Amino acid sequence: MNSFGGKIKFESFDLEKLRKDNSFSTQKVLFPHQSEAIDALTRAFTFRNPQGKGGLLVLPTGAGKTFTSVKWLSETAIPKGAKILWLAHSFHLLDQACDEFKKNAKWIPFPRSTLNIRVVSSNPSHSRAGDIVPTDDVVIMTTPTASCPCIWLSSASFGYSRDSPIGLFSWPYRHSRLFRRDTPGLAQQAV
């Protein structure tokens, strides 16, 4: 772990060791709306579409968007080798997402044996965009940092490919002009 002032810059998890640790042996129980959202995500993202896919997870404030998204990513996308770029607009939300990925790391299925998480922002207690490396599995960063031109140079080393983009956005409301309404709980738009 590489941390500064209690904030995470980078952390690598030995998933096999976490799976054997019984101190956090039970998973959170999903509420019905979270189960429905996970089912919709699983149907929408088959990982067989070479042209990529995007989506918007729509849950109200306090309904568990971060937990639901991270649970699905940990159980479905990460085991398939997907690279996760998590964007948030505040340092607090970066730390919240990082904590949720750490809590769910234990439940990432075999054969996956490690998980590397990097938090990137302008905050000196976080990594810089130039620190991103191909072995990072999850990069959590602020949206202003992501809009910096230097991030697109780093994204190539992270393993991002425009050949098969996948985007999942977690949002407290749905903007009707931007997203389709035909999938309850999950609005879809190609990225």
Of residues 132, 191, 190, the one with CA closest to residue 156: 132
Report d(CA 118, CA 11) in Å as an integer: 7
Domains and CATH numbers, the chain: 2-13+51-188 (3.40.50)
Phi, psi of 56 (to 5 degrees): -130, 115
Query: Phi and psi at residue 103, in whole multiples of 5°?
Result: -65, -35
SS (H, E, C) the chain: CEEECCEEEEEEEEHHHHHHCCCCCCCCCCCHHHHHHHHHHHHHCCCCCCCCEEEEEECCCCCCHHHHHHHHHHHHHHHHCCCEEEEECCHHHHHHHHHHHHHHHHHCCCCCCEEEEEEECCCCCCECHHHCCCCCCEEEEEHHHHCCHHHHHHHHHHCCCCCCCEEEEEECCCCCCCCCCCCCCEEECCC
pLDDT of residue 36: 92
Rounded average pLDDT per 10-residue block, the chain, 191 residues: 57 90 74 92 77 75 91 91 87 91 90 93 88 90 76 51 48 44 39 27
Q: What angle do CA 82, 61, 189 make, to 5 degrees?
A: 45
**pLDDT of 50:** 61
